[in-house]
Structure 1
């Protein structure tokens, strides 16, 4: 797993080199593990979606 700064750098590089027109884009469904089950974030209620957006990623040493 890469750190957040590296992910942002990779994302900014991808946006500048291979931007797709809107008609060629498809929706990306994000899944996460909750209480031992994998669930799509789009199925969360508004409060849980907000909590998911506030999560931070870290790497344990």
Structure 2
């Protein structure tokens, strides 16, 4: 599966755009790219989850 994803990314490089990821810090939202090295490391170690929509579109 990982190779399929990598191949798809390589085929569509001209269609890709930069995506800013924001996270809530101390009550407000900040872009992750503005974090220092230590805070970026903490963000990578976080457990991410997907909320199930139970079949509702």
Q: Verify same fold: TM over 0.5.
A: yes
Moved over 6 A (4+): none
TM-score under structure 1 normalisation? 0.60
Q: Which one of 6, 25, 32 corresponds to residue 23 of structure 2?
A: 32
- Once the two structures are TM-superposed, the CA of residue 58 in structure 1 deviates from its matched residue by 5.3
**Aligned partners of 1:58 and 1:21: how far apart in 2?**
27
How many matched pairs?
45
Query: Comparing both chains, which one has the higher relative contact order based on Cα–Cα distances under 8 Å and sequence gaps of 6 or more?
Result: 1
| 1:3-48 superposed Cα distances (whole Å, 9 cap, x missing partner) | xxxxxxxxx7xx5xxx461011001110000000100000000110
Identify unmatched segments of 5+ residues in structure 2: 51-57
TM-score under structure 2 normalisation? 0.64
- Give the corresponding residue for 1:57: 48
Larger radius of gyration: 2
Identify unmatched segments of 5+ residues in structure 1: 1-11
